[in-house]
A and B are shown apart, each in its own frame.
Chain A
Amino acid sequence: MKPHPSLGALLGTALIATLAGSASAAETIYYPSLVYRSGAYAPNGIPFANGVADYVAMINARDGGVGGVKIEFEECETGYATDRGVECYERLKSKGAKGAIAFSPLSTGITFALTEKVPNDKIPLQTMGYGRSESADGRVFPWNFPLLGTYWSAADILIQHVNKISGGLKGKKITLVYHDSPYGKEPIPVLQDHAQKYGYTFEAIPVTHPGVEQKAAWLKIRQTRPDFVFLWGWGVMNSTAIKEAVAVGYPRERMYGVWWAAAEPDVRPAGDDAKGYQGLALHPAGADYPVHKDILKYVYDAGKGAGKREEVGEVLYNRGVIDAMLKLEAVRNAQKIFNVKVPTGEQVREGYERLELTAERIRELGFEGLITPLKVSCLDHEGARKARIHQWDGQKWVFVSDWIEADTSYLRPKVEAAALAYAKEKGITPRSCN
């Protein structure tokens, strides 16, 4: 018996439909998140991780993912340890239909280790506000994206600010209390350069990981009485520093933290003593931006929040939200450029490199007021280098300055020189950006 032609057609359509169905079910964007919810740095790692998780959950719930493609989200615990971070990276990098879209390790040590690995695996490394400062040069570091500002930019902004408020730094003394790791050491070259330019004397005092023991550092500060103390700490080191400053009677108003040392977990443990402490702000704190309304509505009202409702809008929480937003914007950009649903890591890299967030786009995303416009290019992987200063009033962070922009004419040659030195050591030929 000959089969009926229409039966064959029907079977064929059904088969195609099933195939298409299964294909679209498998098509998800794979978003790995390296977090530390345990260990010495957990108080700071948790709000950031929650911000990332909540933003991704909100995008999935509100928009059904990016460009209509659902995001598959997975966390991996690194404990801030480099070897576990590398293990997590290896575990997650090739999951999902097209592999991981990008990684953000939130640790300078892990960033350094992954910088060696991402060019082979072709996965972008987004290090928003941290990582290697010279990786802002996209010619030598095509896969690194230290968006919104590096530590060199941070140091430059801080010096500009204190120079302005003190009416010239000539003859002044600035002391840097830093976490004794690549993270803490990053700003030193810029602060040393500026010491000659502005005429202040500079001293750097290291604090050993994890930073609970810093009596010696603060006794030295009591002796030398610097005009300003910059704090480059992370986790428990920051609140300890504030308590030690109280113990030696150093005024908190003259202490400035980098943007990783100016969040709620840093000042709250010190209680009222932290009042007056200042720090860099990459973005404001607060939960009254449109994006937070959506997060509360789609994630917390559905009972799926990663953290506590009242912690939405903390400094590090907002930083996690921005981090996730930038990553997903790069993915969206890659979808547009290559006209694909699920971009590969290589395509996401292009998405990053041609990422431009205009004021209008920022408003659309519900981030107006949270970040300033940025434009990434092949030469400049930083995109924007602005920050404000905020001060802890005992309850909340209050802005005490407007947006300050880092001095590109000074920083750029320095970044290029350091990047070229790295390229020479590693035998990399910098690519051309034309």
Chain B
Amino acid sequence: MIYRETGQFRTSYAEDQAIFRLREDRIGIIVILAIAWVGIPLVADEYLLRAILIPFLILSVAAIGLNLLLGYCGQISLGTGAFMAVGAYAAYNLALRLPEIPLLIDFLLAGLIAAGIGIVFGLPSLRIKGLYLAVATLALQFFADWAFLRVHWFTNYTPSGSVTAPPLDIFGWLVDTPLEKYWLCLAFACATALFAKNLVRSRIGRSWMAIRDMDIAAEIIGIRPMHAKLSAFAVSSFIAGLAGVLWAFVHLGSWEPLAFSIDMSFRLLFMVIIGGMGSILGSFLGAAFITILPIFLNQVPAMVGIQLSTAMVSHLEFMIFGTLIVLFLIWEPHGLARLWQIGKEKMRLWPFPY
């Protein structure tokens, strides 16, 4: 009754091409953005910002990056953590060795370097598919782990192999309070989401989806697989590289290669699968599920006043979290984004479903 398209006529091509074609959707997104930009900063405390929202936003960006590759172009990658690491270490080295470049430009350059590495390691995708490709990208993950542990030039010969980020100075704006860091991450998340959404509606995005659905058919109708696959790898690793920079510079401040280990790649893969492959919204939902839910589960016993030992709480966290993943995948193999879509369909028919 409230949420439906009846009576909303689109009279121009611009209206027809809008991302949110329904007035209700537009209102919804404005409300969400207003809450994210203004509402949360008014009420959130430091814990919520620094421990929950900043990691959530950064991993959402990374999940969008992987979703472009996996969800839209159908190329399985287990190397997202490595792309993040490349971005983080590239930005660190640029900031260290070329201090005259502004930090924000460093970030974008680091993204471009990650994109370059992405193209190189995307080359095997021209010959191999599916799980075999996953194994090939796994090689990148181990290569990156090895390079950042062993090649001491990358870590500026620090004895411990752990590096620290310089102060975050974005064109004279010193980002040091949790709120400023939150805004910075939010800006990156919004920009990435908008960019990704428009990209997948464009010619490039449609060529990715054609490759994903059937690469031979796509080739026959004139899509160049090399072009499509490598551009997907490039864009995906650019975004993952940016997320890596944010993870290192904004969230951790000081990091070691373990921060971008295979665990990170798997977590991102789970985010995309649980959130919904081929959906930008799904990237955010998946990131929320994987990052926030364990922390929430960990605090539930204390919130409801049950005294349990720390070990018990953490074991319960693992068990419940694991069970939920399995259940979600049984109920809705297409992810949380699909659940949301089903909800919207139901809303349109409400209150007289047929």
By a beta-carbon cutoff of 8 Å, the part of chain A in contact with chain B is: 35, 37-38, 42, 46, 49, 75-77, 79, 82-83, 86-87, 90-91, 94, 108-109, 112-113, 115-117, 120, 132-133, 180-182, 185-186, 188-189, 206, 209, 418, 422, 425-427
Contact = CB atoms under 8 A, between A and B. Distances in A.
A79 B149 CA distance: 22
Given A91-B299, A132-B160, 14 more contacts: A42-B311, A49-B310, A77-B311, A86-B252, A90-B47, A91-B47, A109-B162, A112-B160, A112-B164, A113-B255, A116-B253, A180-B149, A186-B160, A425-B164
Contacts of B311: 37-38, 42, 46, 77
| Most A C-beta atoms less than 10 A away, residue of B46, B258, B299 | B258
B253 A87 contact: no
B176 A113 contact: no
Contacts of B295: 87
B324 interface: no
Interface of B: 46-47, 50-52, 55, 96, 149, 159-162, 164-167, 176, 251-256, 258-259, 261, 295, 298-299, 309-311, 313-315, 318
Given A77-B313, A82-B252, A185-B160, A90 B50 contact: yes
B226 to A, nearest CB: 35
A355 B159 CA distance: 29
Nearest to B295: A87
B164 A422 contact: yes
| Most A C-beta atoms less than 10 A away, residue of B161, B176, B295, B310 | B310
| Most A C-beta atoms less than 10 A away, residue of B52, B164, B176, B311 | B311
B253 to A, nearest CB: 4
A77 B314 contact: yes
A281 B298 CA distance: 35
| Most B C-beta atoms less than 10 A away, residue of A83, A188, A422 | A83
Q: Could you tell me the dominant secondary structure of chain A's interface residues?
A: helix
A113 B159 contact: no
B160 A182 contact: yes
Closest 10 CB pairs of A and B: A116-B253, A37-B311, A182-B160, A90-B51, A77-B314, A75-B310, A182-B162, A87-B51, A38-B314, A112-B254
Contacts of B161: 181-182, 185
| Most A C-beta atoms less than 10 A away, residue of B164, B166, B299 | B164
Given A83-B55, A112-B162, A90 B255 contact: no
B253 A113 contact: yes
B294 to A, nearest CB: 8
Contacts of A180: 149
A77 B317 CA distance: 11
Contacts of B314: 37-38, 77, 79
A115 B315 CA distance: 29
Contacts of A75: 310
A94 B48 CA distance: 12
10 contacts: A37-B309, A83-B55, A87-B51, A87-B52, A87-B295, A112-B162, A112-B164, A116-B165, A188-B159, A425-B166
Contacts of A79: 314
A116 B252 CA distance: 8
Contacts of B165: 116
A418 B158 CA distance: 9
B51 A91 contact: yes
Contacts of B167: 426-427
A269 B318 CA distance: 26
Contact of A113 (B52, B252, B261): B252
A102 to B, nearest CB: 18
Contacts of B309: 37
A82 B47 contact: no
